[in-house]
Amino acid sequence: MSRGARRLAAAAVALFALATSAHAQRETRGTAPGEFDFYVLALSWSPGFCATEEGAEGRDQCRTGAGLGFVTHGLWPQFQRGYPVACGSDRAPSRIALDQAQGLYPSEGLARHQWRRHGVCSGRSPVDYFGDVRAARDRVTVPDLFTAAVRAAPAEIERAFAAANAGLRQDMMSVVCRRGTLLEVRICFERDLRAFRSCPEVDRGGCRGGNVGVPARR
């Protein structure tokens, strides 16, 4: 494996480690592809991720001047309680499928990792799955709150997203933070991605109380 590929893989693992530490839901292996209740779109705030020790491994994402804000961490099939992972398919994404993911994820390594862990559980082909990721991401408008460094309560961040997106409520998302810094915003969608939906367990998993730092792009 080349040095560049190792860095990409390390960044993917680092993002997953952060998600796991902030996401206390139970994962289920061995679920048949396509068996899930709804989707969670996880949007990673790059300046927050890059402020962590793990973020140092995501060098392309975190290099000075990259100027990245919210990037797609993943589109995750979800149960009412817990979520499926690694659903048994060893189908690898083609070049055409990975082209669908360009501009969504901060690296191709993360796109590949997300397919292996979550995409295989969707029951969709790699091309269709990454098309769904793009459709979900295009459905979300990022509010103006994130144009400069701020400190804000998690509820305030949720209200800003709700105000910018018709049909989105605070019980349909969660704000994930670590050590007082914003890492992600997770938004719940119906299976067909045509509407947002309530997701109590995801909502409860977010950070609560106090203000969190929202670092500026760099």
pTM of the predicted model, to two decimals? 0.86
Beta bridge partners of 75: 41
Confidence at residue 63, expressed as pLDDT on a 0 to 100 scale: 81
Print the domain residue range for 132: 3-214
Query: Residue 119 maps to which CATH number?
Result: 3.90.730.10
Contact 167, 195 (CB under 8 A): yes
Confidence at residue 218, expressed as pLDDT on a 0 to 100 scale: 76
Confidence at residue 36, expressed as pLDDT on a 0 to 100 scale: 97
**Count of CA atoms in the C-beta half-sphere (13 A) of 25:** 23
Question: For the residues 101-126, what does the mean pLDDT come to?
Answer: 94
Answer whether residue 78 shows pLDDT above 80. yes
Beta bridge partners of 196: 189
Q: For tokens 């800003």, name the residue.
A: 160
* Residue 26 burial by Cβ neighbours in a 10 Å radius (0-12, 13-18, 19+): exposed
Instruction: Output b/e per residue, 185-205; b: 16+ Cβ within 10 A.
Output: bbbbbebebeebbebebbbeb
Confidence at residue 58, expressed as pLDDT on a 0 to 100 scale: 59
pLDDT tens for residues 3-61?
Answer: 444 444 445 445 544 544 444 578 999 899 999 999 999 999 999 998 887 776 656 78
User: How far, in Å, are 86, 119, 136, 153, 206 from residue 107 at the CA level?
Assistant: 20, 16, 18, 30, 25
Confidence at residue 8, expressed as pLDDT on a 0 to 100 scale: 45
Distance CA 174, CA 58 (A): 24
Confidence at residue 24, expressed as pLDDT on a 0 to 100 scale: 59
pLDDT tens for residues 115-168?
Answer: 999 999 999 999 999 999 999 999 999 998 888 888 999 999 999 999 999 999
Contacts of the segment 172-175: beta carbons below 8 A, 24+ positions apart = 172/196, 172/197, 172/198, 172/199, 172/203, 173/199, 173/202, 173/203, 173/206, 174/202, 174/203, 174/204, 174/205, 174/206, 175/206, 175/207, 175/212
Contact 203, 174 (CB under 8 A): yes
Confidence at residue 20, expressed as pLDDT on a 0 to 100 scale: 42
How many domains does the chain contain in total? Answer: 1
Question: For the residues 185-197, what does the mean pLDDT come to?
Answer: 98
Confidence at residue 151, expressed as pLDDT on a 0 to 100 scale: 93
Confidence at residue 22, expressed as pLDDT on a 0 to 100 scale: 44
Answer whether residue 73 shows pLDDT above 90. yes
Answer whether residue 107 shows pLDDT above 60. yes
Confidence at residue 19, expressed as pLDDT on a 0 to 100 scale: 47
Question: For the residues 202-212, what does the mean pLDDT come to?
Answer: 90
Residues 6+ apart with CB under 8 A from 204: 174
Confidence at residue 59, expressed as pLDDT on a 0 to 100 scale: 66
